[in-house]
Structure 1
Amino acid sequence: MKKFLITLLFAPIMAFASGGNVHLDKWPGSVSDKAALQNGAKLFVNYCLNCHGASYMRYKTLTELGLTEQQVRDNLMFTSDKIGGLMAVAARSDEQKLWFGATPPDLTIVARARGEAGNAGAGADWLYTYLRSFYRDPNRPTGWNNVVFENVGMPNPLWQLQGQQVRDHESHKLEMAVPGQLSPAEFDKAVSDLVGFMVWMGEPQQEFRRTLGWFVLAFLALLFVVSYALKKEYWKDIH
């Protein structure tokens, strides 16, 4: 029963993250880059929060990225008037179900869920490849498809930045048909920042946890040296 409830809880995220055996590009970003995470947060609230919520994240937590509360209010708060409010989705769930056939999943922990769930690669790599793999498909209701997630119900949310790609039927490679506002290199950097924010959002304290872990290991190593020296001094007359 417990396993069934866990599966039911994560079913929407797993559906979003499903895909075939495709090559995944390595995510080039890092959760240590505060400037990149700030840009990723801006992209998230502008291009993702209209449909996907981050309902386990509060706006106030964004101050841990080096932003002031006023900067968060002025630039990132679109779905709440309180700094302590949750980053809830802007659209109603009944409207989303009508538009897309299903309610888009919450993205708070999607990077962690994808990384822990399958054999197709880490969550960050999957998201980084997925968001850059949309192409025009007139046979789909939204007019979009995705190499990583075939027949996805979501249209390309970043098409204005990326442009419009098409898929060659013979080589199955993606080609740029209509350029976007950003160059390919600039777009890849923007997607990297966005993925970085989603990775950070799944565990905002991960950098602190890693740093604390190194301090603990260093303390244990020092304690071992002191303990060993004490043991030798205590037993020197016996041995």
Structure 2
Amino acid sequence: MDLQLTGKVALVTGASAGLGRSIARLLAEEGCKLALLARRMNRLEDFAATLPASAEPLLLPEDVTDPTAAERTRDAVLARFGRCDILVNNAGGSRPQPDLGPEEVWQESMELNFHAGRRMAHAIIPAMQANKFGRIVNITGSDEPHIINAANAPNGAVHIWAKALSRQLGRDGITVNSVPPGRLRSEQIDARILPSEAARQEWAAKEVPVGFIGEPDDLGVLVTFLCSPRARYITGQVVHVDGGTHRFSH
């Protein structure tokens, strides 16, 4: 299937590693030009060196929690490419707490997992509206509350905000969707949650119906499709990529 992405301009946050890197690579393989945002310039440079020349990567060393980052990013992308067709809000992270959690963790998690992506989208949307085309995909996380996790509330906030945004922007040719990953192989999962192969196999055997922990590309292929013109009738959705791990039916 031709996803009709050749020449589209995609901005991916948290693009230097893990899920963001996989998503950006797959978009490049489909012909997108890329704006890659992450805090670590050396990681961005290493990644950019692996991409096809057609991606024309623009490297943006930014911290998305800086309230001024969204406007700087928008201006840089439009100055280089003249447009921004796709935004993948990938930067974020889980914040499990052993007790109720300190105030600063809750504030930091809401800033990282909700406000940063909201600001980025609000900055980019006028350019999408001008072209009557846009794709916004938010990589979120579970809002199923197993334990106290400061990321659950902003994940839920993104899902509600994105649904409202999808209703407002649909007639502008802009779709807005959210993709919560389960435990996929990533820097965060491997380093902080399931650091050994034995731990990963044990957890998957108990918790994942398909019996294994997914790879970043398992999420990336869905995101790439949602970013394409082919996905024009899919908007306002929350699509889980978790091997069936979550227990609710919607």
State the TM-score, normalized to the length of structure 1. Answer: 0.28
Q: Which has the larger radius of gyration?
A: 1
Larger relative CO (CA 8 A, sep 6+): 1 or 2? 1
